[in-house]
Amino acid sequence: MSSPEQDPRPESAGAGARSRRGVKVELVDDVEKSLYARRQKIYPREVHGVFATLRVTAVLVLLGLFYGVAWLSWDGQQLLLFDLPARQFHVFGMLFFPQDFLYLTFMLIIAALTLFFFTALAGRLWCGYACPQTVWTEVFLWIERKIEGDRPRQMKLDKSPLGARKFAIKGAKHLVWVLFSLWTGFTFVGYFTPITELGARALEFSLGPWETFWIFFYGFATYGNAGWMREQVCIYMCPYARFQSAMFDRDTLIISYDSERGEPRGARRRGSDPKAAGLGDCIDCTLCVQVCPTGIDIRNGLQYQCIACASCIDVCDEVMDKMGYPRGLVRYTTENAVSGKQTHVVRPRILVYSAILALLMVALVVSVMLRSPLELDVIRDRNALYRETSEGLVENVYELKIVNMDERAHRFRLSLEGPESLALITEEPEIAVDAASVRVVVASARIDPARLSQRSTEIRFRIDSLDEEELGADAVARFLGPTPSAR
C-alpha cells in the first residue's frame, strides 16, 4: 500500500473507505438473514465529463419542455391540454375527443416501438438520459448536493447524531424538495385542466378539492420517487429494466469494463510500471462504484441494474488521464467489439424495427390528416314510429347531433336526400355550432305515403358548412311509414 501522498486515489476512496465498505457488505449479509433485506442508501458521487454534460443537457431540455409547454398558448388556447373536465384534448392546434382514443393507442404503440428501436441500437439510452425517474432524480441529487455538500459530507451528516445543525440542513433540503415537487404536481395537473385558470385559482387559494388532491398526489409521487426511492424504482418497479435484455444482441451498445486490459486490478504508485508489478490498468480506486446511482460495480460485468448513465465512464476516464493511461477502460462498446469481432449497426433486427416504426408513423399521420373535423349522428325519435299529419302526410322525427371538432365555430346548412317530394321540416335551416362543441337539433321529414314503396326507406341527412368549402358530413337514417299493402 502506498503512502497517502503518493496515492493518486481521492480521499474517501482510500483504505478507510474500503474498510467502511467492507463493514457494509457484512451488514447486508446480516440483514439478509433477517426477514427482509434492508436497502443500503446509495450516495452517488458527483461526476463531470462528456456524458455528464450530455445528461445535464437532456435534463434541462426535457424539464424545460415539461414545465414550459404547459404555459404555451395560441389564440387563447393552451397548445397541449388534455382537458378532462371538458372531455376535449387539444394537441397543438388539433382537437380530439374521447372517441379518438384510437390515436392515443396508436401513439403509445409507436412510443413503445421507438423505445425498442433505440434499445436494440444503443442500449439503455432511455434510462440514462431521458427517463423521468433519471431526470427528476438528477435534479433532486443536485439540490441535495447544494444543501448537504458532496458525497463524504452527506455520509458524515447521516452518521452524525440529530442536532440543531443536522435538523436545519435536512429540513432545508426537504423543504426545497417539497416545493419543487409541488410545482411539478401543479404543472402536471395543468396539462389536464387549463393551467392559467388553475394558476389564478391557486394564487387565490380557491382550488377545487380534486385539483388540490392531484397536485399533492403527483407532488408526493415526485418527492417519493426522486427523493427516496431512486434506484429502487428502476430495480423493482420498472418493467423495461426487466425485459430490455430481450432487445439486446451482440451488436447493441453497452457500457463495459475492459477486464482484459484492467485485470489484475490493484493500487500502485503513480509513474510506476504496472507491467513490472504484474498489474492491469485498473487501479482499483472504486470511483466507478462511488459514482454509480444504482450502486453496482461495472467491473462485475453487464447487470440489469445498470441504467447506462455512463457516470463510470466519465470518472474512469478522469482517473486514466491522471495516471497517464489511455482512456476507455470503462467505455461504450458492444459485445462483439469486446470479443474482437466486428460490430454491425445495420442488421435484421434494426431493419425490422425501423420498417414497422416507419409504417405505423405514416399510418398515424395519414389517418390524422384524413380525419374529418365534423361528425353528424342521427337518432330517430323513439317515442313513435311515425305520425300522420292533418294533411295526410307521414312524418318522422329525428335528433341530429353535430360534433364540431374544429377549433373554429361554423355555420351549417342542413339538407335531406330521399324519395321525391320528401320534405325537411326544421326550425333552423342554418345551424351555428361553436368551436369544439356539440349541438343537438331536432328535425323532421314528411312525405305523402303514396310515394313510399316500402315500410322502411333509407334517407340521408347532410350538413354543409356555409363558411368553409368542402367541410361537410352526412348520416344515413331510416324513414318509417305504413306498410304499403295496408293502404
Partner 1 sequence: MTTGRPDDVQGAGERIPRVQLVSAVVWPAFVMAGVATAVFFTFLDPVHVLECTGEAPLGRTAAYSLGFFMFWALCIATGAGTAYFLRPEVPPRPPRPRTEELS
In this complex, which beta carbon is closest to partner 1, that of residue 36 or of residue 92? 36
Looking from the CA of 45 toward its CB, the CA atoms found within 13 Å total 18
Which of positions 73-112 make contact with partner 1 (CB under 8 A)? 84-85, 87, 98-99, 101
Judged by CB, which is closer to partner 1: 193, or 334?
A: 193
Q: Does 206 help bind partner 1 (rule: CB under 8 A)? A: no
Q: Helices 132-148 and 151-159, interaxial angle, to 10°?
A: 70
Q: Which of 211, 231, 281, 406 binds partner 1 (CB under 8 A)?
A: 211
243 binds partner 1 (CB under 8 A): no
| Residue 157 burial by Cβ neighbours in a 10 Å radius (0-12, 13-18, 19+) | middle
| Euclidean distance between CA atoms 404 and 437, whole angstroms | 5
What does the per-residue mask of binding to partner 1 show for 166-205, with x meaning CB under 8 A? ---------------------------x------------
Joined grid coordinates for residue 182: 409541488
Q: How many CB atoms lie within 10 A of CB 470?
A: 6
Residues 254, 332 contacting (CB under 8 angstroms): yes
Contact range with partner 1 by CB under 8 A, out of 31-39, 262-270, 273-281, 407-415: 31-39
Q: Is 224 in the site for partner 1 (CB under 8 A)?
A: no
Measured from the CB atom, the residue of 132 and 419 that comes closer to partner 1 is 132
CB of 52 or CB of 70, closer to partner 1: 70
For the chain, count helices (H), then strands (E): 16, 16
Q: Quick one: 167 or 210, whose CB is closer to partner 1?
A: 210
Closer residue to partner 1, CB minimum distance, 102 or 277: 102
Residue number, 283 or 402, with CB nearest to partner 1: 402
Contact residue for partner 1 among 213, 326, 413, 432 (CB under 8 A): 213
Could you say whether residue 27 binds partner 1 (CB under 8 A)?
Answer: no
> Should residue 142 be labelled a site residue for partner 1 when binding is judged by CB under 8 A?
no
Q: Is the dihedral of CA 222, 226, 232, 233 positive or negative?
A: positive
Residue among 213 and 243 whose Cβ is closer to partner 1 = 213
Q: Please identify which residue in 208, 224, 264, 326 interacts with partner 1, judged by CB under 8 A.
A: 208
In the complex with partner 1, which residue's Cβ is closer, 167 or 213? 213
CB of 38 to partner 1, least distance (A): 8
Radius of gyration of the chain measured on its C-alpha atoms: 33
**The dihedral formed by the CA atoms of 97, 103, 109 and 112, expressed in degrees to the nearest 10:** -60
CB of 24 to partner 1, least distance (A): 16
Interatomic CA distance for residues 43 and 367, integer angstroms: 49
Q: Does 237 bind partner 1 (CB under 8 A)?
A: yes
Residue 460 — φ and ψ, nearest 5°?
-135, 120
Nearest Cα residue to 481 out of 460, 450, 436 = 450
3-state class (DSSP) for residue 105? helix
Per-residue 3-state assignment (H helix, E strand, C coil) for 381-414:
CCCCCCEECCCCCEEEEEEEEEEECCCCCEEEEE
Contact between residue 55 and residue 314 where contact means Cβ atoms under 8 Å apart: no
Task: Kindly tell me which residue out of 236, 261, 266, 365 binds partner 1, with binding defined by CB under 8 A.
Answer: 236
The CB-of-84 to partner 1 minimum distance in angstroms stands at 6
Instruction: Name the grid cell of 421.
Output: 317530394
Contacts with partner 1, 349-388, as mask; x by CB under 8 A: ----------------------------------------
Per CB under 8 A, 440 contacts partner 1: no
Give the binding site for partner 1 (CB under 8 A).
32, 35-39, 84-85, 87, 98-99, 101, 193, 208-211, 213-214, 229, 232, 235-237
